A and B are shown apart, each in its own frame.
Chain A
Amino acid sequence: MSERQVDLEILRYNPETDEVPAWRTYRVPCQEDWVVLDAINYVKDELDRTLSYRWSCHMAVCGSCGVMINGEPMLSCKAFLRDLPDRIRVEPLANFPIERDLIVVMDDFMAKLDSVKPYLVPREEKPIEDGEHLQTPAQLNKFKQYTLCINCTLCYAACPQYAHNESFVGPAALALAHRYNLDSRDVGRAAREDVVASNAGIWECSFVGACSDVCPHDVDPAGAIQQIKIASTMDYFKDLLMPGRGR
């Protein structure tokens, strides 16, 4: 297989010694079928052992390896070199603070996920002896798309509203809330609304749609958020016109 010389420009940052991040270029001999992650691994193995970055599955299911590649949020294990030019700029995911090199601080995202109550709130507590909650294929298909999120946060890196307002709950967390809201086994929509339907929730979104563009699993968080906006608006007016209605 033929080799190709690729210039990997990586934004480096060592919090213990650097004031600001700085670019370093590495010349990497690449195989035809490589992805950017392979090139980064080559840098670490052969050129600069100090390079720090996250990765795990190398098959786009774990969500660890998100980085900016020539300005676009991508999974480095899914960014094929054959689709990229000879100069590749690799930066940590946008809109997150840089911890070190390509590693970003994920604490805010973890808190956001937690805040939308990402678990089934069943109609009644069902003891195990009573068996499973039954669900038809049609009921499953209603929310299945939103179960595919791998929490890679490429969507947060693409979202300009999150870029400017860190309190925005964000695409993945809202899509996750939607996943539970649409689940026939769940009745937690009202409980989630305090966070989901707040000004920092769905209403911060202006439907740029970049999140859905970059999602590696076609979750379409932008679509999910618009669906929540419609449902939430109808709830709002129903509550206005019929106060005290049970939900």
Chain B
Amino acid sequence: MSRKPYRRPVSTSRWWLAQPRYIRYMAREVSCVFIGAYTGVVVVGLLRLSEGAAAWGAFLEALQAPASVAFHLLALAFALYHTTTWFNVTPRAMPVQLGEARLPGGVIIGAHYAGWALVSALILFLAGG
């Protein structure tokens, strides 16, 4: 009997379209593009800030442009997707065992959301104050 194993080719660029879970994974990964781009915006802002009030004023005006607003809305959506996917896997990446039992994943995730709400509230308060 002769063997002739057959290797099925897999697309390196379109494999993720085959299943919803792969598409959700790619959406999570692509969030980095927006987080990275937003970080770039912050860097430009810092640069303008260091150049003086006029430069900063121009930067603030540019932030109000429709394209900028659209980008920030998209970036916010992806940033939130990053936050939820990051928190959701924490109990699996860092399980906590107390005695014989494991701390329920919901408790760990809930604690993260609570911390996130606290940090967000703090920053909003400091900004608005």
Chain A positions within 8 Å of B, measured between CB atoms, are: 13, 15-16, 20-21, 71-72, 94-95, 97-99, 105, 137-138, 141-142, 160, 163-164, 206-210, 212-213, 220, 222-223, 226-227, 229-230
B93 touches A226 (CB 8 A): yes
Distance in Å: Cβ of A214 to nearest Cβ of chain B: 9
Knowing A208-B25, A209-B25, A226-B92 are in contact, say whether A141-B4 is a contact too (CB < 8 A).
no
Distance in Å: Cβ of B25 to nearest Cβ of chain A: 5
Q: Which residues of B contact A227 (CB under 8 A)?
A: 93-95
B12 touches A98 (CB 8 A): no
B2 is an interface residue with CB less than 8 A from chain A: yes
B125 is an interface residue with CB less than 8 A from chain A: no
Q: Which residues of A contact B15 (CB under 8 A)?
A: 160, 163-164
Residue of B nearest to A226 (CB): B93
Per-position 1/0 for B83-121, Cβ under 8 A of A: 000000100111101011110000000000000000000
B53 is an interface residue with CB less than 8 A from chain A: no
Contact partner of B89 (CB less than 8 A), chosen from A16, A163, A210, A226, is: A226
Q: Which residues of B contact A208 (CB under 8 A)?
A: 21-22, 25
Knowing A226-B92, A227-B93 are in contact, say whether A97-B5 is a contact too (CB < 8 A).
yes
Distance in Å: Cβ of B58 to nearest Cβ of chain A: 40
Contact partner of B102 (CB less than 8 A), chosen from A94, A141, A226, is: A141
Residue of A nearest to B18 (CB): A71
B50 is an interface residue with CB less than 8 A from chain A: no
Name 28 interchain pairs, CB-CB below 8 A, sorted by A.
A13-B6, A16-B2, A20-B6, A71-B18, A71-B19, A72-B19, A95-B10, A97-B5, A98-B5, A98-B6, A98-B8, A141-B100, A141-B101, A142-B97, A160-B15, A160-B16, A163-B10, A163-B15, A164-B10, A206-B29, A208-B22, A208-B25, A209-B21, A209-B25, A220-B92, A222-B92, A227-B93, A229-B93
A98-B7, A226-B93 known; 19 new pairs, CB 8 Å cut-off, are: A15-B3, A15-B4, A16-B1, A21-B6, A21-B8, A72-B19, A94-B8, A97-B7, A98-B6, A138-B97, A138-B100, A160-B10, A160-B22, A209-B25, A210-B21, A210-B25, A213-B21, A222-B92, A223-B95
Q: Which residues of A contact B93 (CB under 8 A)?
A: 223, 226-227, 229-230
Residue of B nearest to A227 (CB): B93
Residue of A nearest to B4 (CB): A15
Contact partner of A138 (CB less than 8 A), chosen from B2, B12, B29, B99, is: B99
Q: Which residues of B contact A99 (CB under 8 A)?
A: 3, 5
Q: Which residues of B contact A16 (CB under 8 A)?
A: 1-2, 4
